[in-house]
Amino acid sequence: MPKEPLCIVGTGKVAQALIKNLKAYYLLHITSPSEDRAQELAEKYGINHIPYGNPLPHGRVIIVRKDADIEKTSEEISQFAPFTSHIHMSGMLSSDVLSSEKRCSMHPIMSITPDTSFQGVLFAVEGHIDICTDIIDALGGKYFQIDTEKKAIYHTALVFISNFTALNTLMGLALLREVGTLPPEIVDSVRNLSYTSIDNVLKYGKDGLTGPAARGDHETIEIEASLLDGFLRELYILQSDVIYKLHSGGGDNSEKDDSSKI
């Protein structure tokens, strides 16, 4: 059976990972306003380059440009390729930013580089999901559907889980360097500490939180906060305060206190 055409719009990390993982299943085309890069990737991966603005094969396009460019790109494609359905992979934007009649978003819950395999990766999908589920199947992924209007809160959740956890680790590493020369084994120890802390919360919810604030060790918190300046100090106190409130019955119910959600 001839392969169905599928057009990748964009030339970044996700575009390259998609090309590598989907080449065997679809007749892939690439187009992008960055003509040189699109041409280069077409040659590198042996797929067809279509100059941006030229008619595209009827079918689907996956817009994997920067989030800020997705809406405009969809509008432009609707002008020069009006019979295409549009898909994007942004975590925050919903399919509402796309201008095609059939549209959806498929967001993989993982960090992607050109070498990423999507085998077993979970995607959050919304919109006309029938236009993307076969692509996720071909990638070896899995999916669950969310409401279009819940897309932004879904992404906010992932920012807490991914970005803020990583930021706290980065800040911890900076402070550890102040301790002095560290052995190479510190990397594994940090990874182990971080993974087990996350695992404890996944297993036990807020009861899985440990540390001075969970124990109510106010003196330790005061001493440690006094060693810090600027936003490190603010983040230490704010996070300790939230953990303490969670362990002492949910806080003072002021407007600013949302700990009952946790």
Ligand X SMILES: NC(=O)c1ccc[n+]([C@@H]2O[C@H](COP(=O)([O-])OP(=O)(O)OC[C@H]3O[C@@H](n4cnc5c(N)ncnc54)[C@H](OP(=O)(O)O)[C@@H]3O)[C@@H](O)[C@H]2O)c1
Binding mask 49-88 for ligand X (x = CB under 6 A): ---------------xxxx--------------------x
Choosing from 37, 72, 102, 128, the residue that interacts with ligand X (CB under 6 A) is 37
Closest alpha carbon to 10 in 94, 112, 101? 112
- The least CB distance from residue 10 to ligand X, in Å, is 3
Query: What are 122's strand-pairing partners?
Result: 142
Rounded CA gap, 221 and 211, in Å? 10
> Cβ distance 103 to 86 under 8 Å?
yes
For ligand X, which is the closer residue by CB, 125 or 213? Answer: 125
Residues 156-175 that bind ligand X (CB under 6 A): none
Q: By C-beta, is 11 or 100 nearer to ligand X?
A: 11
Of 34, 200, 220, 239, which one interacts with ligand X (CB under 6 A)? 34
Q: How far is CA 238 from CA 48, 158, 256, in A?
A: 53, 20, 12
125 lines the binding site for ligand X (CB under 6 A): no
Q: Does 112 sit near ligand X (CB under 6 A)?
A: yes
Q: Which residues in 85-104 contact ligand X (CB under 6 A)?
A: 88-91
Q: Is residue 144 left, alpha or beta, with left meaning phi > 0 and alpha meaning psi from -120 to 50?
A: beta
Q: Give the C-alpha separation, 210 to 201, whole Å.
A: 9
Binding site for ligand X (CB under 6 A): 10-15, 32-34, 37, 64-67, 88-91, 107-108, 111-112
